Amino acid sequence: MQRDHSFVEWWRKVMKKMKKEYKKGVNSLIILGAWMIWKHRNACVFEGMAPSVASIMREIKDEHNLWCLAGAKKLQGLGLAGAL
């Protein structure tokens, strides 16, 4: 039986299993994902936008590209540009 865990507990668990050279990039990716989900949720609640997985994935991809252009080298080092 699987127990419920908080986001922070899940995040810690992921980071413990991560190789040292990927930790900063994965940490940035988790922060980026959480931030974009939060923004999407707020747009749905306060601006009447319809929830959309396709929309949030597009927004994450766009923001990922901006973060990489701004110098997030470890995030860029994960090689996710084509995957997102």
User: What pLDDT sits at residue 76?
Assistant: 86
Residue 81 has pLDDT above 80, yes or no: no
Average pLDDT over residues 7-35: 93
Residue 1 has pLDDT above 60, yes or no: no
Q: How far apart, in whole angstroms, are the C-alpha atoms of residue 70 and residue 52?
A: 27
26: left (phi over 0), alpha (psi -120 to 50) or beta: alpha
Residue 36 has pLDDT above 70, yes or no: yes
User: What pLDDT sits at residue 4?
Assistant: 65
N residues, the chain = 84
pTM above 0.85, yes or no: no
**Residue 30 neighbours by CB under 8 Å, 6+ apart:** 11, 14
Q: How far apart, in whole angstroms, are the C-alpha atoms of residue 5 and residue 14?
A: 12
Q: Are 26 and 53 in contact (CB under 8 A)?
A: no
Q: Are 57 and 5 in contact (CB under 8 A)?
A: no
User: What pLDDT sits at residue 78?
Assistant: 86
